[in-house]
Amino acid sequence: MTAATRPVPGEAAVLERAGTENFSVAALVLGRSTRRHLLAIYGFARLVDQLGDDVDGDRLAHLGRLEEDLDRVYAGGEPEHELMRRLAPTVRALGLPRDPFRRLIDANRRDQEQSAYATYEELADYCDLSANPVGELVLHVFGAATPERIARSDDVCTALQLVEHWQDVEEDFGRGRIYLPAEDLERFGVEPGDVRSEAFRRLLAFEIERARALLDRGAPLVGTLRGRARLAVAGYVGGGRAALDALAAGSRKASKARRALATLVTFARGR
């Protein structure tokens, strides 16, 4: 199916990638009820991304209709999209706040209007919309959403979002998006879309270490959690560390074995 003919995805299409996403992989170590809640949140996040990136037609209008569906969930009504009907019992059972869901929608609205970022601070603000809300919602699922933990989670989630951007520099450029801050491109003498030069390699090394420092700052979150929740969050942190190591070594993705080892090391340090 081409980009010109992609309709609004249904539940099955959105969850099709569940076996390859970090979010769902982490969910596999949890009990059935917690896994169901996490997958409902995951499904919402994936749906928002697909509406913002892939569907045909007016994407802002699609996102607007999704926000109306979110309003129905919080008003106690019946949502229209099947994934929103999956989400509604989770929202009500756990008393999840609305704001993180709204921010995920706003991130994709920004994608329709902004394709480049002047400064790192501007990019970090985007990550606060596009990534941090997911971590906050995960903490609510665990019953662990204190202000201190949310702050640590924000560092972890921003770092993970940066990792994804640095993995996909060439792909994003082909889609007309540049997440490398313009100030950094200028500092290292790199032209947008240049991924072959020595200057780009120096820039990427700088961005990798910036994300690594942020991930390390958020990593103590693992030690504040217990049991399967700790293991799940260690999976996010460890997976991010493995991805950064792979990028630094010149590989786009880390192997499953590397991610598993990094997860175990992160879990052990959290103890």
Q: What is the pTM of this model?
A: 0.90
CATH code assigned at 267: 1.10.600.10
Buried-state track 103-130, b at ≥16 Cβ within 10 A, e below 16: bbbbbbbebeeeeebeebeebbebbbbb
**In whole angstroms, what is the distance from residue 146 CA to residue 35 CA?**
21
**In whole angstroms, what is the distance from residue 221 CA to residue 237 CA?**
9
pLDDT one-digit tens code per residue, 38-71: 999 999 999 999 999 888 899 999 999 999 999 9
Residues 68 and 193 in one domain: no
Residues 133 and 217 in one domain: yes
End of a domain among 58, 92, 113?
Answer: 113
Residues 43 and 162 in one domain: no
In a domain, 1, yes or no: no
Residues 81 and 141 in one domain: no
DSSP state of 145: -
pLDDT one-digit tens code per residue, 174-223: 999 999 999 999 999 999 999 999 999 999 999 999 999 999 999 999 99
Residues 49 and 85 in one domain: yes
CB-CB neighbours of 179 under 10 Å? 20
Domain that holds residue 90: 8-113
End of a domain among 96, 113, 130?
Answer: 113
Residues 59 and 19 in one domain: yes
Residues 222 and 258 in one domain: yes
